[in-house]
Amino acid sequence: MRLATGKSFKIKTVHPRTEEIDSLNLEIPSKLSGALICAKIRAKYPGRFVQDTGNILIPMGFSRREAVEIPDEKHYPEMDRVLFGGKDDPSKLAALSNFHACEIKWHDHVWTHSEGPFQWAKMMRYPARPELAVKHLIDCMEKPQKAKRAGRRCVIRGGWDQPMRVAKRDEEGEVVKPLVYVGGPLHKVEVMYSVCLAKFRQNPKLRALLLSTGNKPLHENRIDSHWGGGPNYPRALDLLGQVLMRVRDELRGPVQGKSAKK
């Protein structure tokens, strides 16, 4: 069922505590995209809708046949952003993801994707068990999915996950203040920045793709409490998108993209 913006609708769902079917009176605002409206509704009524992406809501206790869709009736200013990655992203912007196949030279090794060096850096050295470090390196050289699994199993070195302060956001999830973190050059955010900078510097086509996004906010559109974010996942920290915007600024230089002083 498609819901029109600017109107109210009654939707039947299962109450998360009583497990009984009741109705919600949903106010569908206007001047927002369908995806952002769905994110707001899920945040306002936790446990009432099955998690889904985009502008689709599935009421708890019902099948996908009872899903409701909130369409994008026109182009809204808050849609002037770039969403990439996510499950089965068919667009060319999927190349911004760390799973994209490309050659990268980083720390005396040649990698076939940027997920590998990032996960390898979690451990990097393990003097007490050198054979584990070798196995970890080999696993991270494999497909990105295997590299990610290796990063979850390895012994994480010190300084990787130090406490950090993240970007301050407004009610709609937009960044009000930029990313601020506490950590040195081996902190995971700095490692991600170093890997991504190498990726886009060493691959001209990827660099051109990143620069083609202009000054639009970048969001990795997937479920990840740290690296994902955007209108579909407003509670995530959106770290990868912020790192890529930082890389974009570095590649662009200090003058391009800003009005020149007369």
Looking at the fold, whether 188 and 241 belong to one and the same domain comes out as yes
Report how far residue 59's alpha carbon sits from residue 173's, in angstroms, rounded to the nearest whole number: 23
Residue 259 resides in a domain = no
Looking at the fold, whether 99 and 211 belong to one and the same domain comes out as yes
For residue 25, the Cα-to-chain-centroid distance in whole angstroms is 31
Looking at the fold, whether 153 and 210 belong to one and the same domain comes out as yes
For 14-49, the pLDDT digits (tens) are: 777 777 787 888 777 666 666 667 777 777 777 777
Average confidence (pLDDT) over 239-259: 77
What are the DSSP calls for 183-238, one per residue? --TTSHHHHHHHHHHHHHHH-HHHHHHHHTTTT--EEE-SS-TTT--STTSTTS--
Q: Could you give the angle at the alpha carbon of 165 between the alpha carbons of 167 and 147, nearest 5°? A: 90
pLDDT at residue 157, as a whole number = 81
In the structure encoding, which two tokens stand for residue 204, read together? Answer: 């001209």
Q: Dihedral of CA 198/249/237/31: which sign?
A: negative
More confident residue, 78 or 86: 86
Residue showing tokens 């890997």: 195
Looking at the fold, whether 33 and 99 belong to one and the same domain comes out as no
Looking at the fold, whether 58 and 95 belong to one and the same domain comes out as no
For 156-203, the pLDDT digits (tens) are: 887 787 765 555 566 565 655 555 544 566 789 889 999 999 999 999
Looking at the fold, whether 69 and 92 belong to one and the same domain comes out as no
Contact 40, 50 (CB under 8 A): no
Burial 72-82 (b: 16+ CB within 10 A, else e): beeeeeebebb
Q: Looking at the DSSP assignment, which residues form a beta bridge with residue 220?
A: 84
pTM over 0.75: no
Q: Which domain holds residue 179?
A: 82-252
Residue 262 resides in a domain = no
Among 112, 116, 113, residue whose Cα is nearest residue 150: 116
More confident residue, 103 or 155: 103
Report how far residue 88's alpha carbon sits from residue 229's, in angstroms, rounded to the nearest whole number: 17
Number of compact structural domains in the chain: 2
Looking at the fold, whether 172 and 203 belong to one and the same domain comes out as yes
Q: Dihedral of CA 74/91/41/180: which sign?
A: negative
Looking at the fold, whether 73 and 90 belong to one and the same domain comes out as no
Residue 2 resides in a domain = no
Looking at the fold, whether 122 and 175 belong to one and the same domain comes out as yes
